Amino acid sequence: MTRVRAAVGSLNQTPLDWDGNRDRIVEAIDAARTADASVLCLPELCISGYGCEDAFGAAGVAATALDMLAQIVPHTSQMVVAVGLPLLHDQALLNAACVMVDGRIVGFTAKQILAGEGLHYEPRWFKPWPADARDTVVVGGEAYPVGDLVFDCGGVRVGIEICEDAWAVNRPAVGAAMRGADLILNLSASHFAFGKFETRKRLVVESSRSLDVSYAYTNLLGNEAGRVIYDGGGLIASSGQLLAQGPRLSFRPVQVTSAVIDVAATRMARTRSRHWSTARVGGNNLTVASAFSWPELEPTSATPSIEPWESSPNLKEEEFLRAVGLGLFDYLRKSRSHGFVVSLSGGADSSCVACLVALMVEMAAGELGPERFTEALGDPPGLRTTATTAKRVEALLHCVYQATRNSSETTRGAAVAVAEAIGARMSCLDIESLVADYRAKIEAAIGRELSWATDDLALQNIQARARAPGVWLLANLNRALLLATSNRSEAAVGYATMDGDTCGGLSPITGVDKAFLREWLVWLEKQGPVGLHPIPALAAVNRLAPTAELRPGEAHQTDEDDLMPYPVLDAIERAAIRDKQMPVEVFRLMRSRFADYTIEQLRAWVERFFRLWCQNQWKRERYAPSFHLDDENLDPKTWCRFPILSGGFQRELYELREYVARLPRAAERL
């Protein structure tokens, strides 16, 4: 025997959905067996779900995971299967992998390098396992080895890494390879971020080359717990060659990908390498032997297949659509809601959200088929009888345009055009009487009239807030999710009305900056995603300058007049928040990047950003859950923490003003 068919399974799991998680694991095992695979790697913590958060602190979670494991074991006959679960051992909770061979447990490994950055908080719940250590754990009355182990399964040696383990210098795979591992299985829960998959692919391919092994990497799939999206995309590589790549961002809850690896070839490659010796680091103590009979396989050639959209020159635009679409689909079905409500203003943000919903419906129904699509959503009212994409969108998406005296026919026309183009149900309401009633009551209470000269912000905000009760009522009546439409640029400076345009149960685009959203809408208008279509009606939206339309028309209000040009705002945000630079450093960087603006303009914008950032942390704390789409997120619950109350960079902003005052006026522009 020299050749082995290895498989990786991407699963769309849900925290604490014990029966559902077990059933999808069993489905993946059966699918791998049908594909004639003998070894299968399943994702990190896939029995319990990765995103259990502080529920990991409940002893019952680890106990139930073992109960589910006992139900999974019998399904692994004639296979080698690795599955992730939380494991209690010696007063510590471990992020563990169980290795099962031919219908029996043979041992456990535990994660050595815990993920504790960004949206990961594993050290809060788990303890790291020390390298080169072995112990015994009792499960179901039986004693099993646990530790930094290599499993000798019928002569093929299998090592284990768990997600973050592979990204560290002192990674477990090095020790496993030194002990003769032929195949490394990586059980991962690696979150989606723009462009991250290529980095992940390079890691897998290079690991197989540098360690002279075959390397099988699997990942979770979908919106598991609410905020984080996993893109799946299992990978199998051997000796520096990518053999197989699984689908990414699929709406199918189970995806299994396999390839034939040549054990003899990697062993011979190792004999030619000067990095290896005959010594076994850790000796036989760290090797667990188990009998297993491998089937004979014929040689095969492998060419990884990828989806057409993954070769698109507009990959970020494609990833955004498909990641958010999958996130919306999973959030809808896992929350058992019957659809979405969007307050469609005719502007870029709300149009973007509405189009994402419509395209999600088209993509999901296309991949799953209408029947499975309807079943996955719990058969909401009116959906099963629909026969076209437009009718499905109409059943699941209700858009509302709410006008005050400051709203224009231009934005109303743009909103209606978009809703008609995507097939959404559309309602246009006039709420001026509600605004006037609120205003009259407060004027009576304070004993004076309100005016734009003295009460500008309050008069803007009451219009936005008056829109909230109606859309909430509509969402409640339909058992639908109300989607908020704020973007990351607005979140950074608090350019939003709390309990107004921020109201909603989910805020799908808060992780994305305004400049990208505007570019994405132009792409969607003129080109559109691979395999789908453009939406030309967006031209009416893309012609408009972004505006809240909360001041009287003669004020000609625009977002960028209120704040600063969005490209400048986004550049300041990245420098100040992502790169942790102080005001003077940010100002100097902006001068080098935006030479067309004056020194005083840039100074004012940098100062405005820092002031508004500090003042509005409380708003970011109150935003509805948002999707994590890149590693520049501002969500304080998953990525970017900042005090609600602070000194507001007063000293640093004074230094900025002093620095600018010393600049020669001849250097007004670079």
| SS3 call for 57 | helix
pTM for the whole thing?
0.94
pLDDT classification of 511: cutoffs 50, 70, 90 = very high
What CATH class has 564-670?
mainly alpha
Closest Cα to residue 83, out of 117, 63, 61, 106? Answer: 106
Q: How far, in Å, CA of 35 to CA of 439, rounded?
A: 68
Report pLDDT for 277. Answer: 58
Question: What is the residue whose two structure tokens read 């996130």?
Answer: 327
pLDDT classification of 503: cutoffs 50, 70, 90 = very high
Which region holds residue 616: left if phi is over 0, alpha if psi is between -120 and 50, else beta?
A: alpha
Q: List pLDDT tens digits, range 565-600.
A: 999 999 999 999 999 999 999 999 999 999 999 999
Q: Say yes or no to pLDDT of 652 above 50.
A: yes
> Contact, 286 vs 148, CB < 8 A?
yes
Report pLDDT for 278. Answer: 53
Give domain 310-557's CATH number out of 3.40.50.300, 3.40.50.620, 2.70.210.12, 3.50.50.60.
3.40.50.620
Q: List pLDDT tens digits, range 361-406.
A: 999 999 999 999 999 999 888 887 777 888 999 999 999 999 999 8
Q: Which residues pair with 160 in a beta bridge?
A: 185
pLDDT classification of 535: cutoffs 50, 70, 90 = very high
Residue 416 Cα to chain centre, angstroms: 31
Query: What does the domain layout of the chain look like in residue ranges?
Result: 3-306, 310-557, 564-670
Q: List pLDDT tens digits, range 434-465.
A: 999 999 999 999 999 999 999 988 999 999 99
Q: Using the 8-state DSSP alphabet, how is residue 544 labeled?
A: S
Token reading at 243:
């053999």
> Contact, 4 vs 261, CB < 8 A?
yes
Q: How far, in Å, CA of 656 to CA of 661, rounded?
A: 9
Mean pLDDT of the chain: 93
pLDDT over 70 for what percent of the chain?
Answer: 97
Report pLDDT for 670. Answer: 44
- Size of the chain in residues: 670
Q: How far, in Å, CA of 409 to CA of 346, rounded?
A: 10
Residue 459 Cα to chain centre, angstroms: 37
Q: Which residues, 6+ apart, have CB-to-CB distance to 82 below 8 Å?
A: 40, 41, 42, 97, 98, 99, 100, 158, 160, 185, 187
Report pLDDT for 466. Answer: 94
Which region holds residue 336: left if phi is over 0, alpha if psi is between -120 and 50, else beta?
A: left
Q: Which residues pair with 186 in a beta bridge?
A: 161, 217
User: In this predicted model, which residue has the larger pLDDT, 666 or 136?
Assistant: 136
Q: Which residues pair with 152 in a beta bridge?
A: 157, 289
Q: Which residues, 6+ apart, have CB-to-CB distance to 84 below 8 Å?
A: 42, 43, 44, 45, 46, 47, 95, 96, 97, 98, 162, 187, 189
pLDDT classification of 281: cutoffs 50, 70, 90 = low
Report pLDDT for 118. Answer: 83
Beta strands 39-41 and 80-89: pairing type?
parallel
> Contact, 358 vs 397, CB < 8 A?
yes
Q: How far, in Å, CA of 219 to CA of 188, rounded?
A: 5
* Mean predicted confidence (pLDDT) in 337-345: 96
Closest Cα to residue 486, out of 349, 616, 614? Answer: 349
For domain 3-306, the CATH architecture is 4-Layer Sandwich (3.60)
